[in-house]
Structure 1
Amino acid sequence: MSFKKINAWVHLWFGIASGVVVVILGITGCILVFEQEIRNVSSPWLHAASKGKALLPPSKIQEGVLKVLPNKEVNSIWYYGENRTAQVTVNSDSTVFVDPYTAKVVAMVDHEDFFHIVEEGHFYLWLPKEIGSVIVGWGTFIFFILLLSGLVLWWPKRWNKKGRDQSFKIKWKARFKRLNYDLHNVLGFYSIIVALLFAITGLMMSFQWFNKGIFWIAGGRDKPRIEAVSDTLSNPQTKMLAQVDKAWYKGMNELAAHNPKEIIVSFPEKASEAIYVCTDMFNGTWRDVYLDQHTLEILPASSKKLMDENFADLIRRVNYGVHIGAIGELPTKILFFIVSLICASLPITGFVIWWGKKKKSGKKKRRIFMNLSPSV
C-alpha cells in the first residue's frame, strides 16, 4: 500500500508540475511529424521540373546565386533530389531556393517561418535556448517517470472480465467523469510504447549523460573526437570550386547507398577545411562524410555506412528518425501523430480527474463539518 500511495503521489504532482510542458511538446510534435508533407503542399518554390535536364554541379548553382546576391557568400547547397529545388545557405537571414537545372533563383524565404516558430516551441518553449532547453529536457524526464508510474496505476487489480474491460475498453456512452477517466487510463496504456520512444529518444537529444548511458548499455564505448582537417602540407593548393564539384559527384556516385541525388555539400572557407558531404538521407537518418579538400580522400572523422555500424552507434544514428516517426515512413508518421496527440491530452484529462476528486473531497469535508456543528 505504501508503494502504491507513493506512486500515486509521484504521478499526481509530477503530472501537475510538467503538464504544460507535455501539452506544448505533444501539440508541436503533432505538427512537426508532417512538416515535410505540409511544406510540399504549401510551398510551391520547393518544386522544379527537370524537363530531361541533368542536375547542375554546385559551382553552377553558386554562380546563379551570386548573380542575384553578389555580396553574399555561399556556405552549402542541399540538393533534395529530382524535380525539387536546391536549398542554398548563404550568410543572410534568408534561405535561397534555386532551380538545380537552370541555376535560377526561385525564392528567398525567411528563416522565421511557421515551422521554425513551432520548432522553437518544441525545443525551447519559445524561451531563450539556454533556459528553454533545460526545461524541455527535465520536462521530458518527468514525462518518462509519469509513463512508468501511470503503468503501475493502470495495472488491473483483478484480471477478470470486469477488470479487463475497465483497463482495455473506453465506455463512450458513459457520463463525462467516467469517459474522461477512460480517455486518460485506457489511451495512456495503448500509447505507452510509442510514448516511451518519444521520451527516451528526446532524452538522448537533451542530455549527454543519458545519451552516453544508453550508448554504454548498448555496448558502445566513446572514442576521442577526431577533427576533420585537410592536409595542406603534402598537397598542393587546388581550385576549391572544382574540388567541391568533384566531391558532389563522388557523393552521388560512390558514397551514397540510398537516395544518391539527395545530398548536401559544403564550400570550405580555408585550405585546411574539409569538404562536408551529407548523403544517405532516408527515413530520418543520414551519413556525415568529410573529404580532404585536396585529395577527396575520406577522412577518419566520417561516419560509416548505416549497414556497417555496430549496434550502439546504430542507436545514435537512428535516434532522430525514431523520434519524429520517419523511421517507417508514412505508417509510423500517422501512428506517431496520433500518439503525440494522446500525450498532449493526458495532462488535461489527468487534471480533470484530480480536480473532480478535489471538489468531491471538499464537499465531503463540508458535509462532515456541517454534521458536527451544533444546531442553532
Structure 2
Amino acid sequence: MTPLKSAFRTVHLWLGLASGLVIVWVCLTGCVLAFEKELEQAWHSERYFVAPASTPRLALAQVAEAVRAYKPKAKIGSFKVYADPTRTVEVSLAGAPEGGKGSAGRPGSAAAEQKATEKRAGQPAEGGPGKGPSKGGKGGKGGEGGGPRVFVNPYTGAVTGELNPRDNFFKTVEMLHRGLVAGKVGKLVMGISASMFLFILATGIVLWWPTARKAFSARLKVKWGSSWKRLNHDFHIVLGFYASVFLFVIALTGVGMSFDWVGEGINKLTHSPLKRPEAPESAAPVGAGAPAFAADAVLALARQQAPDAEFYALQLPKDPKGSIRVAVLRPGAITENATDEVYLDQYSGQVISGQTYAQRPLGQRIRGLFKPVHTGAIFGWPTKALALVMTLLGATFPVTGTIMWLNRRRKQQRKTRELAVVA
C-alpha cells in the first residue's frame, strides 16, 4: 500500500471509529423518516381519508363552523383543500387555547407557527440567512402552521381527527435524527458527524479503487458462500462502493441543513437575496368594520386560476394589515413545497403580488431541495425506497468496518506473538 493510501486508511479508520455510533443512529432514524408521510397516513387513515360522497363539498365557512364547534375558542390560521375527493380538509389553528374540546395541548404562537412552517418548507427560520420577517403569514408547505391541525370531512363537516405536530411520533424521531433534543449543541454534533461522514465516504472510494485492473471486477461482487470474515469484508467494501454516491448526497444535504453558512454561501454564489421580502400589506379598508374577503371567494378564485392543482392552501392574515396568502401545487411539481404563491388584499380580494415556483430566487429553490433530496422524497416513492435501502446499508458500514479493524488487529497481534516466539 502506498503512503498516500495508508494515510487515507488512517483517516478513514479513525473518523469511522469516532463517529460510528452517531452514524448508525442517524441512519436508523433516517430510515423511519423516509416514509414518514405514508406511514402516518396508513396508521391514521381515518384522519386523512374519507369516502367520497355524491353531495357537494361544504363551503369553507361551514368547515370553519365545524372547527369552532369542536374547539369554541380556536382561531383558524389556514385551510388546505385537496383536489382528491377522498382527502379531508386540513385546518391549521393559529393559536388554539389550551383546554378546548379535544385539545391536543399547548397553543402554537404565531412566531412558533412561522418558524415551524418555514423549516418544513426547507427555508431558514426567521433571523437565518435568506429570509426576513413576514407580516402576512409567509409560510411554506401549503400554509401549514406549527399549532394543532384539525381534519374535517368535506362532505359532512365531521371532525375526523386532530394532530399537534410537536407531539407527533415522527416529529420526535426527526428531533432525535437532527440532534435537536440537545438544542444547538446536538445540532452541531450532528452537523460535524455528517461532515465526517463525507470524508469517510471520500476516503473509502480512494481505498476501494484497486491498483491492478484484474482486481477491479473482484471488488464489484460479493463472494457469497465464503467465510463470515470474507462476507463481512465484501459487505463493507463492495456494498460500500455501490452506496457511497447516494450516501454522499444524503450526507451533503444533511450538512446543508445543519449549518447556516451553507445557505449563506449558496445565496452568495447564486446572487440570491440574503433575506426574503416581507409579505405585502392589505390596503386600509374603506369605512370602519369593512368585511374581509371570504375564504370561499379566495378558494373559488384559486380554482379558477389553477383548476388542475393538487391542493390549494389559504393562509389567513394574522392582523388587520396582513394579506391572504394562497399557495397552489400544480401537477408534476418537483416537491410538495414547489408551490405558486399569490397574496391577496384581505378586504378587496385584489391580487397584491404573486410568484411562481420558477420565479423564486435560485438560492431559495436550491435550499428548498435539501430536505426532499435528503429524505428521498424528490421523485416520490422510488427515491424514498432507494433512500431507505441506502440508509439501512449506511447503518451497517460502521459495524462491518469496526469488525474488519478488530480482525486486522487480532491478526497483527498474532503475528507479533509468533515472531516473539521465533526470536
> Distance between the aligned counterparts of 1:137 and 1:298, measured in 2?
41
> Distance between the aligned counterparts of 2:38 and 2:201, measured in 1?
30
What amino acid does structure 1 have at the position aligned with 2:401? G
> Distance between the aligned counterparts of 2:291 and 2:410, measured in 1?
76
Secondary structure of the residue that 1:136 maps to in structure 2?
helix
- Counterpart check, 1:149 vs 2:203: yes
Distance change in 2, residues 1:165/1:123 (3 Å): same
Q: How many pairs align?
A: 363
Which of 346, 352, 365 is the matching residue for 1:293? 346
Which of 254, 265, 279 is the matching residue for 2:314? 265
Please tell me whether the aligned partners of residues 251 and 260 of structure 1 are also in contact (alpha carbons under 8 angstroms): no
TM-score, normalised relative to structure 2: 0.77
Q: Which residue of 1 aligns with 2:226?
A: 174
What amino acid does structure 2 have at the position aligned with 1:79? V
Secondary structure of the residue that 1:78 maps to in structure 2?
strand
Q: Which residue of 1 aligns with 2:51?
A: 49
Q: Which residue of 1 aligns with 2:173?
A: 118
Q: Please show how residues 188-227 of structure 1 align to structure 2 within 5 Å.
A: 188-217=240-269, 219-227=270-278
Distance change in 2, residues 1:118/1:210 (3 Å): same
Please tell me whether the aligned partners of residues 272 and 361 of structure 2 are also in contact (alpha carbons under 8 angstroms): no
Identity percentage over the alignment?
29
Which of 91, 102, 118 is the matching residue for 1:88? 91
Please tell me whether the aligned partners of residues 201 and 323 of structure 1 are also in contact (alpha carbons under 8 angstroms): yes
Q: Which residue of 2 aligns with 1:28?
A: 29
Question: In the TM superposition, what whole-angstrom CA distance separates every residue of 1:178-208 from its partner, at most 9, and x where no partner exists?
Answer: 1111111111111122212212222222222
Distance change in 2, residues 1:225/1:215 (3 Å): closer
Q: Which residue of 2 aligns with 1:183?
A: 235
What amino acid does structure 2 have at the position aligned with 1:172? W
- Counterpart check, 1:346 vs 2:397: yes
Q: Which residue of 2 aligns with 1:11?
A: 12
Which of 53, 58, 76 is the matching residue for 1:74? 76
Q: Which residue of 1 aligns with 2:160?
A: 106
Distance change in 2, residues 1:235/1:261 (3 Å): farther
How big is the alpha-carbon RMSD for the aligned residues of Structure 1 and Structure 2?
A: 2.7
Distance change in 2, residues 1:299/1:128 (3 Å): farther
Please tell me whether the aligned partners of residues 170 and 183 of structure 1 are also in contact (alpha carbons under 8 angstroms): yes
Distance change in 2, residues 1:100/1:135 (3 Å): farther
Residue ranges of structure 2 left out of the alignment (5+ in a row): 97-103, 106-147
Deviation at 1:157, TM superposition (A): 1.1
> Distance between the aligned counterparts of 1:303 and 1:98, measured in 2?
29
What amino acid does structure 1 have at the position aligned with 2:74? K
- Counterpart check, 1:278 vs 2:313: no
Secondary structure of the residue that 1:341 maps to in structure 2?
helix
> Distance between the aligned counterparts of 2:298 and 2:197, measured in 1?
44
Deviation at 1:297, TM superposition (A): 4.9
> Distance between the aligned counterparts of 1:2 and 1:314, measured in 2?
43
Please tell me whether the aligned partners of residues 315 and 324 of structure 2 are also in contact (alpha carbons under 8 angstroms): yes
> Distance between the aligned counterparts of 1:235 and 1:276, measured in 2?
21
> Distance between the aligned counterparts of 1:214 and 1:269, measured in 2?
31
Please tell me whether the aligned partners of residues 30 and 177 of structure 2 are also in contact (alpha carbons under 8 angstroms): yes
Please tell me whether the aligned partners of residues 264 and 274 of structure 2 are also in contact (alpha carbons under 8 angstroms): no
Distance change in 2, residues 1:80/1:341 (3 Å): farther
Q: Which residue of 2 aligns with 1:37?
A: 38
Please tell me whether the aligned partners of residues 171 and 182 of structure 1 are also in contact (alpha carbons under 8 angstroms): yes
Distance change in 2, residues 1:224/1:353 (3 Å): same
Deviation at 1:313, TM superposition (A): 4.6
Deviation at 1:351, TM superposition (A): 1.3
What amino acid does structure 1 have at the position aligned with 2:389? I
Greater mean alpha carbon deviation, residues 332-341 or residues 107-116: 107-116
